[in-house]
A and B are shown apart, each in its own frame.
Chain A
């Protein structure tokens, strides 16, 4: 089995401006935040980002990394809206494709199957069609039906975060929901997996049944050990969402001055510096 361990900086530096990047997770759940923070540190720009969006989308949009966003929704879950995303939308500066959640998955499935489109009922009659003028319908050759032909969403790179992986990239989801991370990987040319912990292959079944081995190394380019790498989103069962910090993020994001302070405090150093700053944040919170 190949050894695919790679440094976070090395992995992210292989991403070029203009690429289409799929980001796994869902809302504010098991997002590859360490990889997103590394993208923020890079000089990459002009990205097309494909995601069930959460703070990953907010941060990348606010940092000016995103030319186009393809999404099913953008939410922080316990906080309905991401202020950085909504502000960018309300300034009218973001090119977007807003899809129904199921349509969004259909586009990934088409790409993973190397099809140019897949048909679905979702979207018919709705303004998703008007808002996305590139969308076409297709007549069934077998009935009077007409379906939405959801175009494939092929990805240059997928970034996902998992609970465990071996050094070859066999990745394991231990939480209640795998989301669509395996599908992102299958729709992508290259996939980088950040993981809470790299374990020996023979230890992969120590913490979960074989059903949890949903992503094979066949689809994985590089593996990066990033403990707490989904912070501040959930990474069940390893840890839940850091709600206090997410609140601080959302509150800071609402005002340019407090946002500059947030960026200075948390996003101006390396990954170790980020986690130290988060620890300081909690130490101050506890004293209050």
Chain B
């Protein structure tokens, strides 16, 4: 019985699906739902995926959700931060990052809001977003799809979008934006690199997606996002997240 899957669980399955073509590489997931998604991928369609504890270790069996390797699991490798940058440069990695702003070409901002010299709000900084987007596939996770987040143009390009990557020339040939999983929909990119709708979650009014996106989006004929299988739901609820950490990012 899968009809009772929550939006959080649908999002987890969509995050898991980002690893279907990846093969044996390191999954980097920021946020609870992307973390569960990567673990679900490893337990189902991509057993070769390399997971990390979010700190210094690669895990063949991950620690309990939210804990580092000190909290349990099985360590299979050592990846202190310096090694992570080496791995990024080899391209054997795939990221699902968060975003404070995303524009119609997938440019992402996590650095600041407002002006560079005197920001209205200083956020976390560009962190690894420029390097990630220059080197390997990057997907985004948005727990609250809103017109404040999906904007006409971002205040600072941290993660490089498709238009910028194209303009930067052949050195950006490893640039690959995958999908954007939100609490309302799964978004992708068209041939021109513009954000499009791939699917809308069951129970979500397509107009809600349009109203909460700060640039034009065609929702006509968008299919429904797939619902997790019974086995996926069992893994999410009983194995990966028995304490319901996922509901802290998406309530329903």
Contacts and interface: CB of A to CB of B under 8 A. Distances in A.
Interface string B95-126: 00000000000000001100011111111111
B158 A125 contact: no
Interface string A114-125: 000000111111
A124 B172 contact: yes
A249 to B, nearest CB: 18
Interface string A48-91: 00000000000000000000000111110000110001100111
Interface stretch (B82-90, B204-212, B221-229, B237-245): B82-90
Interface residues of B, number: 48
Contact of B85 (A71, A74, A105): A105
Nearest to B111: A98
B72 interface: no
Given A26-B81, A126-B160, A98 B128 contact: no
A80 B130 contact: no
Contacts of A178: 80, 82
A123 B131 contact: yes
A127 interface: yes
B82 A121 contact: no
A174 to B, nearest CB: 13
B158 A127 contact: yes
A126 B126 contact: yes
B57 A144 contact: no
A102 B126 CA distance: 11
B149 interface: no
B1 interface: no
A98 B135 CA distance: 19
Contacts of B120: 90
A146 interface: yes
Interface stretch (B34-42, B161-169, B184-192): B161-169
A177 interface: yes
Contacts of A128: 126, 130
Contact of A92 (B117, B127, B129, B159): B117
A99 to B, nearest CB: 8
Contact of B156 (A86, A125, A131, A180): A131
A91 to B, nearest CB: 7
Contact of A100 (B68, B70, B82, B127): B127
Q: Chain A interface: which size bin?
A: 35 or more
Given A90-B118, A125-B134, A145 B160 contact: no
A223 interface: no
Contact of B131 (A121, A146, A180): A121
A123 B129 CA distance: 9
Contact of B125 (A72, A122, A177): A72
B130 A85 contact: no
Nearest to B85: A102
A130 B168 CA distance: 13
A89 B124 contact: no
Nearest to B127: A73
B157 A125 contact: yes
B173 to A, nearest CB: 9
A11 B167 CA distance: 49
Interface string B139-175: 0000000000000000011111000110111111011
B16 interface: no
A213 to B, nearest CB: 15
A183 B81 CA distance: 13
Interface string A144-169: 11110000000000000000000000
Given A98-B111, A100-B127, A102-B128, A89 B119 contact: yes
B123 A81 contact: yes
A147 B170 CA distance: 10
B80 A90 contact: no
A122 B131 contact: yes
Nearest to A123: B130
Contacts of B76: none
B168 A105 contact: no
Nearest to B68: A176
A124 B130 contact: yes
Given A176-B55, A179-B81, A180-B81, A125 B168 contact: yes
A45 to B, nearest CB: 22
Please list the 4 inter-chain residue pairs (A to B) with the smallest Cβ-Cβ separation, ordered nearest first: A92-B118, A122-B131, A126-B130, A89-B122
Interface of B: 55-57, 68-70, 80-82, 85, 88-89, 111-112, 116-131, 133-135, 156-160, 164-165, 167-172, 174-175
Given A80-B124, A90-B121, A130-B116, 16 more contacts: A72-B127, A92-B118, A101-B131, A121-B135, A123-B131, A124-B172, A125-B133, A125-B172, A126-B130, A126-B159, A127-B111, A127-B156, A127-B157, A176-B57, A176-B68, A177-B81
13 contacts: A72-B125, A73-B124, A74-B125, A98-B125, A100-B129, A120-B131, A121-B172, A125-B130, A126-B134, A126-B159, A127-B111, A144-B169, A176-B68
